[in-house]
């Protein structure tokens, strides 16, 4: 590799910002953020993390459900253009960049353009959610598989084959599944998962503002109907969930009497 040429072309680092708490950034992420000339960030990355980059120009790429976002092709082109200008660019993504972060498309564009790039992993929200409720994601004799899955396929609909995730002894970590919790639950039940399978949803995992909701798979659809959840939500389903500390969790179904009081 021609390092002098790479330096002249700049460098793009895809950095995982973790679930949104500054103290869950890795040291490597912090160093990259502090050294950046430009920081292209997603909406889910909070202001206190962006403040760690005082010298960087900040560019918001959006990517929050229901809000205006830069199209992915434009983000790819932007990263290439910034890299070509010889800048140190940080592409800051929620959680881990390689987990449902469209990093693959950005990496492909950088590779095709010959821009040097690397990846700094981050704490993905499934791990933060599990830690919040002290849920062992794998547990001897109870859960021997851990599956990261999304509720939204490439066309926005439920991904095909989601029923196949209904496997004995698996913990499912479901991203982007809150608004389609009814469809996800129906498919998992159709796939053979018992209605009583424990489930947990964590809003704003890893942050002080987190909220926990627990119940059975059969009750999960109630989450889709709630209008009091504005933050990102991660859902865990599987027998290992019952081994977490769920005493503080609210039920999936909002207590309408309490809400009206």
Ligand X SMILES: C[S@@+](CC[C@H](N)C(=O)[O-])C[C@H]1O[C@@H](n2cnc3c(N)ncnc32)[C@H](O)[C@@H]1O
- Closer to ligand X by Cβ: residue 65 or 85: 65
Which residues are known to be catalytic?
42, 63
- Tokens 């932007």 identify what position? 78
Closest C-alpha to 200, from 157, 168, 240, 164: 240
Q: How many CB atoms lie within 10 A of CB 2?
A: 10
Closest C-alpha to 223, from 179, 187, 260: 179
Query: Shortest approach of ligand X to residue 133 CB, angstroms?
Result: 12
CA 6 to chain centre: 31
Query: Shortest approach of ligand X to residue 29 CB, angstroms?
Result: 13
Contact footprint for ligand X (CB under 6 A)? 19-20, 44, 93-96, 99-101, 124-125, 129, 175-176, 202, 204-206, 232-234
Closest C-alpha to 236, from 144, 140, 136: 136
Q: What whole-number distance in Å separates Cα of residue 220 and Cα of residue 195?
A: 10
HSE (side-chain half, CA atoms, 13 Å) at 145 = 12
Query: Shortest approach of ligand X to residue 124 CB, angstroms?
Result: 3
Query: Shortest approach of ligand X to residue 231 CB, angstroms?
Result: 7
Show the tokens assigned to 6.
Answer: 């790479």
What residue number has its CB nearest to ligand X? 95
Show the tokens assigned to 39.
Answer: 């920081």
Residue 27 sits at φ, ψ, to 5 deg, of -60, -35
Show the tokens assigned to 195.
Answer: 């209605």
Q: What whole-number distance in Å separates Cα of residue 186 and Cα of residue 251?
A: 19
Show the tokens assigned to 44.
Answer: 């889910």
């Amino acid at each position: 590799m021609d390092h002098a040429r790479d330096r002249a072309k700049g460098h793009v680092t895809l950095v995982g910002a973790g679930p949104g708490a500054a103290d869950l950034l890795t040291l490597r992420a912090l160093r990259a953020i502090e050294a950046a000339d430009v920081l292209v960030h997603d909406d889910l990355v909070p202001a206190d993390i962006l403040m760690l980059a005082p010298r960087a120009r900040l560019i918001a790429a959006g990517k929050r459900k229901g809000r205006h976002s830069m199209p992915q092709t434009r983000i790819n082109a932007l990263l290439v253009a910034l890299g070509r200008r010889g800048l140190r660019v940080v592409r800051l993504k929620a959680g881990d960049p390689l987990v449902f972060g469209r990093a693959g498309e950005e990496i492909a564009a950088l590779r095709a353009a010959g821009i040097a790039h690397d990846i700094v992993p981050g704490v993905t929200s499934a791990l933060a959610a599990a830690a919040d409720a002290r849920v062992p994601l794998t547990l001897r004799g109870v859960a021997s598989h851990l599956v990261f899955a999304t509720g939204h396929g490439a066309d926005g609909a439920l991904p095909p084959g989601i029923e196949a995730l209904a496997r004995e002894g698996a913990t499912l970590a479901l991203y982007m599944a809150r608004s389609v919790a009814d469809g996800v639950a129906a498919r998992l039940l159709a796939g053979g998962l018992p209605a009583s399978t424990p489930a947990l949803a964590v809003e704003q995992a890893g942050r002080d503002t987190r909220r926990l909701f627990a119940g059975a798979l059969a009750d999960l659809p109630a989450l889709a109907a709630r209008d009091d959840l504005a933050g990102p939500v991660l859902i865990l389903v599987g027998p290992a969930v019952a081994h977490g500390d769920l005493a503080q969790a609210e039920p999936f179904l909002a207590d309408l009497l309490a809400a009206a009081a």
